[in-house]
Structure 1
Amino acid sequence: MAMDNRVTSIAILVFCSALACCNAGGVAAPQNIGQIFNVLNYGAKPGKNFDCTQAFILTWKAACNFVGPRARFFVPQGIFTVGEAVFQGPCKSQFPIYFQVAGTVQAMPDPSVYSGQGWMSFSHINGLIITGGGTIDGQGPLVWQYNDCKRNGNCVHLPASMHFNDVQHVKIKGLTYLNAMGFHMHITNSFMVSAHSLTITAPEDSPNTDGMHVSKSNSVKIARSTIRTGDDCVSLGQGATNVTVNKVICGPGHGISVGSLGKYPKEADVRGLIVKNCTLQGTDNGIRIKTYPASDPSAAAGMFFNDIVMENVKNPIIINQFYGSSSPKPSQVRISDIVYNNIRGTSATAVAISLKCSPAFTCTNLHFSNINLRPSPTAKGVFTSNCSNAHVMANGPHFPAPCK
């Protein structure tokens, strides 16, 4: 009997300790779970031929109007077909809303369904966590035939799988993005956005399927993700400031790009980019800055590229201020204060470093240190650096030899 009492006491002690731990920040106690808003309860049905768009919008409105903590928009296991959906705030709760995808959300493969820049758009939201381990399938192979951007410089891009406009304090983690119609993610006019532990995949020949495109946004972090698409893994457009890209595996695709800049009038500057601990595999470009000729004045400055591995990359380090136009007028985008440190690996082309800067405003304060790029078997010709209108400073080991 004494032993039974001791076991009972231990069990009570363990239960109380566990409950205290839960309430102290471990697994949430029942009263702190919050409210789950399951799309099934708002009319969604799994299946490739059932339109769940309205159900998803109704579910979001209910979660957004919930005033308590931990409102959770929930997509369970299964395949759910959704057309254009706008998830709009501001929401009533002072706590972040969870947007949890456990199943697969697939797009309607009909461009006429979409009126804006996004398939799923998030706007005017302060506090959002997108997670769940599920898949966001843009069904791109069924609509890429309608992309005419290679023939039409003023083309309208197909919608991004997720478009973020005027959002802040957003986390995106643990999802798979597949075959976007356009960009997989587009972040604009936003603040404090972090994305990590993502897998983004589209075929090498898929058009304009950037993994992450950032513009007019401040304090964006992209980390610990694998991005294999037909375009840039990460691209920065006008107004992108204080962006960090860390531990990203990239390739195939067009590499990590700043630009294109200068295509539109009065573009905002790009400043404060850090790219570090990344690996580029078989990409068309490695680290690229590209601007249009005949641009309005702007700046691309304050960038740090560190510990980058190139594996059979065609243009490992490239600046091109003659991109996308044959205009004789020079680019007025001022490129300055760029650091390339500890860049190593193999180049698939003979020109491992190409710096073609504007004759109107030369690239200034380009610092190179510890560069070790070697030719891969596909690199034909003399292995070299090729530069024009660039002010280069080099120290430490440097192969190929730096531009003078």
Structure 2
Amino acid sequence: MASLVSFLACHFLFTIFQCSSLASNVNYNVQTLGAKPDGKTDSTKAFLSAWNSACASGQPATIYVPPGRFLLGTATFAGQSCKNPAITIHIDGTLVAPSNYNVIGNSGTWINFESVTGVSIIGGTLDAQGANLWSCKNSGKSCPTGATTLAFYNSKNIMINGLSSINSQKFHILVYGSQNAKLVGVKVSAPGNSPNTDGIHVEKSLGVTIMNSKIGTGDDCVSIGPGSSNLWIENVACGPGHGISIGSLGWVLQEPGVQNVKVKSATFTGTQNGVRVKTWARPSKGFVKYVLFQHLVMVNVENPIIVDQNYCPDGHNCPDQVSGVKISDITYQDIHGSSATEIAMKFDCSKGNPCNDINLEDVKLTYKNEPAHSSCINADGKASGLLQPNNCLYN
């Protein structure tokens, strides 16, 4: 009798455990909810329906996108009223934007996550079909500004793993006003002449990690805007593109600074810049400090190391002014490779706020198989170890 009671008790507990396990992760298949994998039928309602159901579930949920091409219009996934602590979006297919760029071109963002917590995007491809809009912009015609492909605003604990973004109209991925975002194995692809197609842009965000990613685009591979801190960027292959940039900074007077940034083990191939700090030649109370550029490889890069504090394209809104952004405590360590121009290391700092505490250690950059040159204006710091080009910093 005792053994029977034990068996029934165990069976009862196992059933409860099994049911609770099944209930612990709810799945929503967008195709079951009406999405069509033909690349032509607007599937926006099905995606929003899956999101709303996952939000309301109160338990970890997965939104599944099966193989195929799913046409998606402008979509905002809002998390303000979500009961769910964790939503995973598992994509085996491709989300494709409307071919007519006017449909999303003035929306700001194509796929927008607002105030979400614990969202993960796993796999998949986002195809914004931006080529027609780039052609419009390059022709000088009046065109929409273009939409960022994927954006997270005011969000926390975000994971993007194995996602590909191709042919964005504007920025590919934006992390804005957010905390604890991790982007791993991301692939970004757009032609080198596609305008303003930054790979990943981070602004006013804390604790962002970008790792093991390959980014080729028409603007910065990674760009870091004001108010960003505690960023870790490692093992990124950049090219084509404009490199990894802190900036542009200092457009307004009251601007939050950038600090605690690490860029490690990155490779730049045929890019306009390697690692760059760029500020407008305008009054500002912004700053850049505690930055480490380490273990970087340059392959035929136009400006492998550059600080430009006199950024003033076309002379508009900034002529005859100086940058107020204070730059200090930047370390360049173990950087080697080839420059496509004679001056491989350029520090063009503000005469009103010279760069301070620039540290160079084991830098070897060549131009046409000869040591490259350096240029320093209003920059002080120190050098150690092997240094080519020669140190031009003043102490």
Give the superposed CA RMSD: 2.4
Q: Is 1:309 aligned to 2:329, yes or no? A: no
What secondary structure, in the 3-state scheme, does the structure 1 residue paired with 2:131 have?
helix
Aligned positions of 1:32-71 closer than 5 A: 34-69=25-60, 71=61
Equivalent of residue 142 in structure 1, options 124, 132, 148: 132
Q: Is 1:344 aligned to 2:344, yes or no? A: no
Please tell me whether the aligned partners of residues 101 and 130 of structure 2 are also in contact (alpha carbons under 8 angstroms).
no
Equivalent of residue 229 in structure 1, options 213, 217, 228: 217
Q: How far 1:167 moved relative to its partner?
A: 0.7
Q: How far 1:51 moved relative to its partner?
A: 1.0
Please tell me whether the aligned partners of residues 294 and 328 of structure 1 are also in contact (alpha carbons under 8 angstroms).
no
**Range 114-123 or range 172-181, more displaced:** 114-123
Aligned positions of 1:258-277 closer than 5 A: 258-277=246-265
**Range 43-52 or range 180-189, more displaced:** 43-52
What secondary structure, in the 3-state scheme, does the structure 1 residue paired with 2:341 have?
coil
Amino acid at match of 2:135: Q
Equivalent of residue 401 in structure 1, options 384, 390, 393: 390
Please tell me whether the aligned partners of residues 59 and 86 of structure 2 are also in contact (alpha carbons under 8 angstroms).
no
Q: How far 1:120 moved relative to its partner?
A: 0.1
Q: How far 1:92 moved relative to its partner?
A: 3.6
Q: How far 1:60 moved relative to its partner?
A: 1.0
Q: How far 1:227 moved relative to its partner?
A: 0.5
1:353–1:29: structure 2 CA closer, same or farther, 3 Å change rule? farther
Which residue of the partner structure matches residue 358 of structure 1?
A: 350
Task: List per-residue Cα deviations over 1:107-165 (Å, max 9, x = no partner).
Answer: 1133432353210000111111100x32111101122234479999xx97411110110
Which residue of the partner structure matches residue 117 of structure 1?
A: 108
Equivalent of residue 84 in structure 1, options 74, 82, 87: 74
Matches of 2:340 and 2:376 in 1, distance apart? 18
Q: Is 1:250 aligned to 2:241, yes or no? A: no
Task: List per-residue Cα deviations over 1:316-343 (Å, max 9, x = no partner).
Answer: 0000011134311101011111000001
1:32–1:61: structure 2 CA closer, same or farther, 3 Å change rule? closer
Which residue of the partner structure matches residue 9 of structure 1?
A: none
Aligned positions of 1:1-12 closer than 5 A: none
Matches of 1:398 and 1:248 in 2, distance apart? 24
Which residue of the partner structure matches residue 3 of structure 1?
A: none
1:269–1:351: structure 2 CA closer, same or farther, 3 Å change rule? same
Which residue of the partner structure matches residue 392 of structure 1?
A: 381
Please tell me whether the aligned partners of residues 147 and 158 of structure 1 are also in contact (alpha carbons under 8 angstroms).
no
Task: List per-residue Cα deviations over 1:13-58 (Å, max 9, x = no partner).
Answer: xxxxxxx9xx9xxxx9962661111112322112222111222112
Please tell me whether the aligned partners of residues 149 and 157 of structure 1 are also in contact (alpha carbons under 8 angstroms).
no
Amino acid at match of 1:402: N
Equivalent of residue 168 in structure 1, options 145, 156, 177: 156
Amino acid at match of 1:355: F
Amino acid at match of 2:304: P
Task: List per-residue Cα deviations over 1:316-371 (Å, max 9, x = no partner).
Answer: 00000111343111010111110000011111110010100001000000000101
Q: Is 1:321 aligned to 2:312, yes or no? A: no
Amino acid at match of 1:393: K
Q: How far 1:99 moved relative to its partner?
A: 1.1
Matches of 1:113 and 1:266 in 2, distance apart? 35
Matches of 2:23 and 2:305 in 1, distance apart? 50
Matches of 2:250 and 2:189 in 1, distance apart? 29
Matches of 1:363 and 1:151 in 2, distance apart? 40
Which residue of the partner structure matches residue 128 of structure 1?
A: 119
What secondary structure, in the 3-state scheme, does the structure 2 residue paired with 1:72 have?
strand
Matches of 1:376 and 1:64 in 2, distance apart? 58
Task: List per-residue Cα deviations over 1:175-208 (Å, max 9, x = no partner).
Answer: 2111111111011000000000111111111111
| Deviating 4+ runs (over 4 angstroms) | 148-152
* TM-score w.r.t. length of structure 2: 0.89
Gaps of 5+ in 1: 1-19
Task: List per-residue Cα deviations over 1:281-327 (Å, max 9, x = no partner).
Answer: 11010000011112322101110011011111110000001113431
Amino acid at match of 2:216: R
Matches of 1:53 and 1:383 in 2, distance apart? 53
Matches of 1:198 and 1:208 in 2, distance apart? 19
Which residue of the partner structure matches residue 10 of structure 1?
A: none
Amino acid at match of 1:329: Q
What secondary structure, in the 3-state scheme, does the structure 1 residue paired with 2:322 have?
coil
Equivalent of residue 97 in structure 2, options 107, 127, 137: 107
Gaps of 5+ in 2: 1-13
What secondary structure, in the 3-state scheme, does the structure 2 residue paired with 1:287 have?
strand
What secondary structure, in the 3-state scheme, does the structure 2 residue paired with 1:145 have?
helix
* TM-score w.r.t. length of structure 1: 0.87
Please tell me whether the aligned partners of residues 353 and 386 of structure 1 are also in contact (alpha carbons under 8 angstroms).
yes
Please tell me whether the aligned partners of residues 372 and 388 of structure 2 are also in contact (alpha carbons under 8 angstroms).
no
Please tell me whether the aligned partners of residues 303 and 338 of structure 1 are also in contact (alpha carbons under 8 angstroms).
yes
Matches of 2:343 and 2:23 in 1, distance apart? 59
Aligned positions of 1:187-206 closer than 5 A: 187-206=175-194
Amino acid at match of 1:68: Q
Matches of 2:325 and 2:139 in 1, distance apart? 23
How many residue pairs match? The answer is: 374
Matches of 1:116 and 1:140 in 2, distance apart? 14
Q: Is 1:371 aligned to 2:359, yes or no? A: no
